[in-house]
């Protein structure tokens, strides 16, 4: 008699030996095939039934002996040649039962920050969802699981609020289109430990979803100092931020002329470069690495009026020496 753990370790797609397992849960798939979560004392597995005549035999809490089935990559496949026989009730360990329940129902997970995970403020057996920026990305590589089955893994690193953590993407998740610089939201991550560095990491589960989000829009101050390259309607420009960091950003060619030369939007490139060398810090809205627009900074003209904020001005004020809100 086979166990589920032994199934994962074998490479044969068809089996002569029977499997004895307990049905923990069942549901109909979108393709109208019955799917069941099976468990024994060693592990859990999903079975897909392609033979309607077997549906009535695959009842929850029934312990069954299953013969003439096929093994897919991670699932059992039952068909018209499969034989299903009722057997004496099997006791399944509580932790295996919980894992079988999770095959169809995603477990609850906690939305948390990377800092929460690194500080161990999230229970270690809880699944986590994080939103962060992809900081590093490695190419997928082939490995074998503890059941000796081939699969792929891909390591990425996420960064948020000056904290970073490694994420291990498993199986089909390695094909996610995420790349360095993307802002992503990943759900149902299992907490683990990077064995090489002995630090916390996160790993995708079968319920994990990876979503690439639009970059946050933020306002920063910078000085555009040069054009690094030209592409279609955009320039890649070299800037110095108010934090004295040198970075490259993308900006529309017409927009940069409007920012630096509002009175002459048709200014040529040599004159535009000359203006860059003379321009002060400007405030802009950014999304990712793209400059969206200049933020008006002249709506409020602040001039020292010689009074503290809570002084009372008794005489008629001089309008040239106080803050004046300009009309829109």
Q: CATH number for the domain including 85?
A: 2.40.50.140
Q: Is there a single domain that holds both residue 23 and residue 87? A: yes
Does residue 327 lie in a domain region? no
Closest CA to 210 of 295, 298, 145, 129: 129
Q: Is there a single domain that holds both residue 33 and residue 52? A: yes
Residue 308 and residue 11: Cα distance in Å, rounded?
A: 81
Asked if residues 79 and 15 have their Cβ atoms less than 8 Å apart, the reply is no
Asked if residues 168 and 201 have their Cβ atoms less than 8 Å apart, the reply is yes
Q: Is there a single domain that holds both residue 11 and residue 85? A: yes
Closest CA to 164 of 132, 142, 190, 194: 132
Q: How much is the pLDDT for 80?
A: 93
Reading the block at residue 224, the tokens are 């555009």
Q: pTM for this structure?
A: 0.57
Asked if residues 49 and 55 have their Cβ atoms less than 8 Å apart, the reply is yes
Does residue 308 lie in a domain region? no
Q: Is there a single domain that holds both residue 19 and residue 48? A: yes
**Sign of the dihedral through C-alpha 317, 323, 325, 326:** positive
Q: How much is the pLDDT for 300?
A: 33
Residue 133 and residue 142: Cα distance in Å, rounded?
A: 25
In the chain, the N- to C-terminal Cα span, in Å, equals: 82
Does residue 126 lie in a domain region? yes
Q: How much is the pLDDT for 319?
A: 37
Q: Is there a single domain that holds both residue 72 and residue 168? A: no
Q: How much is the pLDDT for 26?
A: 94
Reading the block at residue 206, the tokens are 């079968």
Q: Is there a single domain that holds both residue 207 and residue 227? A: no
User: Locate tokens 């549901």: which residue?
Assistant: 27
Closest CA to 129 of 151, 150, 111: 111
Contacts (Cβ under 8 Å, ≥6 apart) of 170: 151, 152, 153, 203, 204
Does residue 290 lie in a domain region? yes
Closest CA to 6 of 53, 60, 93, 76: 76
Q: Is there a single domain that holds both residue 238 and residue 279? A: yes
Owning domain of residue 293: 217-300
Task: Tell me the CATH number at 266.
Answer: 2.40.50
Does residue 283 lie in a domain region? yes
Q: Is there a single domain that holds both residue 129 and residue 71? A: no
pLDDT block averages, 10 residues each, the chain of length 328: 85 76 93 94 94 95 94 87 95 91 83 92 88 92 79 93 92 92 92 88 92 88 87 88 86 90 87 83 86 73 42 40 38
Q: What is the domain count for the chain?
A: 3
Bridge partner list, 192: 201
**Beta strand 163-170 pairing with 199-204:** parallel
Does residue 321 lie in a domain region? no
Q: How much is the pLDDT for 14?
A: 67
Does residue 320 lie in a domain region? no
Among 46, 80, 101, identify where a domain stops: 101
Among 167, 195, 213, identify where a domain stops: 213
Asked if residues 184 and 131 have their Cβ atoms less than 8 Å apart, the reply is yes
Q: Is there a single domain that holds both residue 58 and residue 115? A: no
Among 59, 74, 101, identify where a domain stops: 101
Name the packing angle between helices 269-278 and 253-260 (round to 10°). Answer: 50
């Amino acid at each position: 008699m086979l166990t589920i753990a032994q199934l994962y370790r074998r490479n044969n797609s068809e089996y002569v030996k029977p499997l004895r397992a307990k049905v923990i849960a069942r549901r109909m798939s979108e393709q109208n095939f019955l799917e069941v979560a099976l468990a024994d004392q060693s592990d859990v597995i999903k079975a897909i039934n392609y033979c309607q005549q077997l549906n009535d035999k695959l009842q929850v809490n029934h312990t069954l002996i299953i013969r003439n089935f096929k093994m897919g990559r991670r699932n059992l496949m039952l068909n018209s040649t499969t034989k299903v026989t009722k057997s004496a009730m099997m006791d399944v360990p509580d932790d295996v039962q919980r894992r079988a329940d999770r095959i169809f129902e995603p477990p609850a997970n906690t939305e948390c920050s990377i800092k929460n995970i690194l500080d161990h403020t999230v229970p270690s057996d809880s699944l986590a969802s994080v939103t962060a920026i992809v900081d590093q990305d490695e190419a997928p590589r082939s490995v074998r699981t503890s059941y000796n089955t081939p699969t792929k893994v891909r390591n990425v690193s996420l960064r948020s609020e000056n904290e970073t953590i490694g994420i291990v993407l498993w199986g089909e998740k390695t094909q996610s289109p995420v790349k360095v610089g993307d802002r992503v939201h990943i759900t149902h991550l299992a907490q683990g430990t990077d064995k090489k560095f002995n630090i916390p990491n996160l790993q995708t589960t079968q319920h994990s979803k990876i979503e690439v989000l639009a970059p946050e829009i933020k306002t920063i101050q910078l000085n555009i100092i040069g054009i690094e390259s030209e592409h279609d309607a955009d320039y890649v420009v070299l800037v110095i931020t108010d934090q004295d960091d040198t970075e490259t950003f993308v900006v529309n060619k017409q927009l940069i002329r409007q920012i630096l030369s509002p009175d002459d939007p048709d200014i040529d490139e040599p004159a535009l470069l000359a203006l860059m060398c003379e321009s002060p810090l400007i405030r802009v809205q950014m999304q990712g690495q793209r400059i969206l627009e200049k933020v008006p900074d002249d709506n409020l003209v602040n001039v020292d009026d010689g009074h503290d904020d809570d002084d009372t001005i008794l005489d008629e004020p001089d309008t040239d020496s106080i803050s004046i809100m300009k009309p829109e």
